Chains A and B, each alone.
Chain A
Amino acid sequence: MNTKRKTSDMLVATAQPATTTDGVSLQVSGLKLSLGGKNILRDISFSLREHGINILIGPSGAGKSTLLRCLNQLHADWQGEMLIMNHHARQWPGGTDALRHQMGLIAQKPAVFPCSIEKNVTFGLSSRERKHPPAGLIERVLRQAVLWDEVKDRLHESAAILSIGQQQRLCIARALALSPSMLLLDEPTASLDPRSKQLIEASLSQLAETMPLLCVTHDIEQAQRLGGQIIFMCDGRIIEIASADTFFTRPERLEAREFLRWSTCDCS
């Protein structure tokens, strides 16, 4: 039954490469999600261009993590429209699991697997690629995640002995090994030491030149450092979308001004 559905999905997906918007990697319109009878996300619409940093900012409980989980399809029962690389998310060739390779999700709390650093990097690959990783893949993604220099001599050691900051960078490398078309990061530097924070921000700025990043943070200073497009969310809604310059100097909405001042706001 499953395979049947997938083949038909593939047909549909190849048959109608939906609205062709050039230079846009992700387009979400009218996304809604309720969990346990509560509306968590209401009418979310935004788009990500083919590269660059996008900051998802807002007070805690705004639904930022939930939105990222919807994009990675960890919450599958959202309503609305989601176009990824001009394909409908629901009709992705190869199904949800294949789509998840494209939407590299990095959780707030790093979760490494209890095996070697090298095995962690290749964890999401197919069994054939795990046995014979493509040449240079491990080094390339570890370099992209600014971790290579710290671990190059001990790739076979357990990943559990790394510091939390190193583990977080390992998680970024692990997602990159699947050659995703975008990265979704959920407060990647919350509760990390300043050095790891700095390295991760450097890595993100570099990655943003090749792919779109959607990075959640509630740290206003970090958002200012990273720049790019700011998506300000509160109470399950997008309140304001603006470039970093505009948002931090002349925010349009009252809620945004309140948030910039107090790091919290009342939108309900």
Chain B
Amino acid sequence: MKLSPFFHVNNRIAKTVTVLLAIPALLLPAACLLYILFKGIPALHWDMLAGTASAVSFGAIGSLWPQVAGSLLLMLGACMIAAPVALGIALFHALCASARQQRMLLSLLHLLQGIPPIVYGLCGLIVLVHMLHWGICLLTGAIILAVIILPMLVLNTVHAIDRIPLERTEAARALGMRDGQIVRRVWLPAAWPSLLTGLLLGMARALSETAPILFTATVFSGINWPDSLFSPVTSLQTHIFYLAQEGANAQAVNIAWASAVILVALVTTFSISASALRKIRVGG
């Protein structure tokens, strides 16, 4: 069949319109990123990561190492709490829950995913900081971040288990394997790349959340390395927030840009590792 010339013209117009519409969607984040790099890279100095934090000027000058460490500690804490809980909930979903409980669990998780993180921060402030007297500390922040990334981790694990062919699970069961053995020897070997991908995305998410840890886990400065779980920390995210408010202080704003570059680099590392893993999974 020969297509009418109008089809080609229409087709070309449609293509152009789509591209034109897509450009701002791509351009905006790209421009943001470029601007951060443009402002931040000149502000970066080696001694920001190597030197020690200075108490002068509210920590606005000196090393950013405590902030990087604080961010990573919060992230690791959140993942160490959330990952086993997520696996447990997903296994309950797959092995014990009735069809109705499964539906209820999934809708609850979707609901939780939609709650603004600041609300979790507020709950953490009331329950953990005030009622339990933990104060503003690393543990409080890690738990709140864990709760925030939990729905995503659970849904990811549930879907990873769902993708395992039912025949394979039934074959294992027909061989007399118990639930625990099936999880260990059939499900985890098949699902671990997906689980790791989800965990890396959860890490990226925990690194970028700012509001909920602002008043539950972090202080502006004065902490090099927390001496316990109940010690407050500093973090890159909140550091940017504090410094950006010092709009008049050119030095402070400069360091905010430098912090932004480091944060973007960290988040991108986790996201890119996640998508690389996903490619391996699709390939293999």
Contacts and interface: CB of A to CB of B under 8 A. Distances in A.
Partners in one complex: yes
B7 to A, nearest CB: 42
Given A74-B170, A107-B170, A114 B175 contact: no
A26 interface: no
A111 B167 contact: yes
Interface of A: 72, 74, 97-101, 105, 107, 109, 111, 113-114, 123-124, 171, 174-175, 178
B171 A101 contact: no
Nearest to B165: A111
B175 A178 contact: yes
Contacts of B174: 72, 74, 100, 105, 107, 175
B176 A97 contact: yes
B171 A171 contact: yes
B176 A178 contact: yes
B171 A107 contact: yes
Nearest to A115: B189
A123 B170 contact: no
B176 to A, nearest CB: 4
B170 A97 contact: no
B172 interface: yes
29 contacts: A72-B174, A74-B170, A74-B174, A97-B176, A97-B178, A99-B176, A100-B175, A100-B176, A101-B176, A107-B167, A107-B171, A107-B174, A111-B168, A111-B170, A111-B171, A113-B171, A113-B186, A114-B189, A114-B190, A123-B175, A123-B185, A124-B172, A124-B175, A171-B171, A174-B175, A175-B174, A175-B175, A178-B175, A178-B176
Contacts of A107: 167, 170-171, 174
Contacts of A72: 174
A10 B173 CA distance: 22
Contact of B168 (A113, A124, A174): A113
A65 B172 CA distance: 17
B91 to A, nearest CB: 18
B177 interface: yes
Main secondary structure of the interface of B (DSSP, over half): helix
A107 B170 CA distance: 9
Contacts of A97: 176-178
A98 B176 CA distance: 6
Contacts of A99: 176
Interface in B179-220: 185-186, 189-190
Given A124-B176, A174-B175, 16 more contacts: A72-B174, A74-B170, A74-B173, A98-B176, A101-B175, A101-B176, A107-B167, A107-B171, A111-B165, A111-B171, A113-B172, A123-B175, A124-B175, A175-B175, A178-B175, A178-B176
Q: Which 6 A-B pairs have the closest CB atoms?
A: A124-B175, A100-B176, A111-B167, A111-B171, A105-B174, A97-B176
Interface string B158-170: 0000000101101
B171 A100 contact: no
Contacts of A98: 176
A178 B186 CA distance: 18
A124 B173 CA distance: 9
A145 B189 CA distance: 27
Contacts of B170: 74, 107, 111
A180 to B, nearest CB: 10
B172 A123 contact: yes
User: Quick one: which of A111, A114, A171 has the most chain B CB within 10 A?
Assistant: A111
Contact of A124 (B165, B177, B190): B177
Nearest to B171: A111
A87 B168 CA distance: 29
Contacts of B189: 114
Contacts of B168: 111, 113
Contacts of B173: 74, 100
Interface string B247-271: 0000000000000000000000000
A88 B190 CA distance: 36
A105 B177 CA distance: 13
A13 B48 CA distance: 74
A225 B176 CA distance: 32
Contacts of B190: 114
Contacts of A123: 172, 175, 185
A72 B176 CA distance: 9
